[in-house]
Amino acid sequence: MSHDELLIWTIARLLKGERTVAVGSSSPTPAAGALLAEALSGGGTKALIFRNNLNDPFPESGSELYDRVGQGRIDVFFLGGGQIDGEANLNMVGVGDYPRNRVRFPGSHGTPVIYMLVPRVILFREEHSRRVLVPKVDFISAPGSSPPGVFRPGGPSDLVTGMAHLKFDRARGRFILVSVHPGHSVEDVREHTGFVFDIYDDVIETPAPDDACLRLLREQVTPKVWETYPDFAVTKLGYRPNASDL
């Protein structure tokens, strides 16, 4: 089992029992996790992968995705950020004082709408460092919580990184460390996280997939991942396309 396969499995576990999961076009690990969850569910979970020929129901591009979000037809979405703080605020604009940021990120796009309306948003960043997980974001592209009286059916539920899995307690506005990936420790997570987080008394090592799940991922899911993310499938998951794929 590779590190990337563990992350994919971790995401798939978080999606157990969910109905409709949507993933953007620049999120190969969450997409693979959603496709694995779909395969494991036997049809109970539907993975919608933006710009995937096999799992993309959005012929009118992004507008249909936001229509579904507004209609309450997306149960889970994945977001990241150039910076994420301990209150689950996301910064997708840049580092430094706006508008003269010394470093610019791709931009917020529809993130604020998704974060406010999708019932469960899972945050994902492979890099687990104080550069990304900061005490306070330099710019709030999308807030992790809203003031009382603001209609908000959606928001963050979890944060998965290359080092750990943390849950977000919306009532308290804080992250809680749930598990640490193999090869790391609670102290590693604390050392490389810029914000303060809570720790469960029974923090565990992130569970690994069993052999049957790994076979499913490698034999059935990875070819679907290659459909949208060929470089990721080849370099990270070891996929070797055959003539019928090309």
Residues in the chain: 246
- The pTM (predicted TM-score) of the whole model is 0.94
Report helix, strand or coil for 64. Answer: helix
Task: Output the pLDDT for position 118.
Answer: 98
Task: Output the pLDDT for position 246.
Answer: 58
Residue 205's φ and ψ, nearest 5 degrees, are -80, 135
Task: Output the pLDDT for position 74.
Answer: 95
Task: Output the pLDDT for position 106.
Answer: 83
Residues of the chain with pLDDT under 70: 53-54, 59-61, 243-246
- Backbone conformation region of residue 244, classed left if phi is above 0, alpha if psi is from -120 to 50, else beta: alpha
- Residue 125's closest CA among 93, 95, 80, 155? 80
Task: Output the pLDDT for position 243.
Answer: 57
User: Which residue matches tokens 């971790």?
Assistant: 10
Task: Output the pLDDT for position 24.
Answer: 83
Task: Output the pLDDT for position 144.
Answer: 97
Task: Output the pLDDT for position 245.
Answer: 61
Domains and CATH numbers, the chain: 1-79+210-246 (no CATH), 80-118+126-209 (3.40.1080.10)
Task: Output the pLDDT for position 129.
Answer: 98
Task: Output the pLDDT for position 228.
Answer: 87
b/e sequence 193-229, b meaning 16+ C-beta within 10 Å: bbbebeeeeebeebeebeeebeebbeeebbbbbbbbb
The pLDDT tens digits for 197-242 are 999 988 999 999 999 999 999 999 999 999 889 999 999 999 998 7
- Backbone conformation region of residue 12, classed left if phi is above 0, alpha if psi is from -120 to 50, else beta: alpha
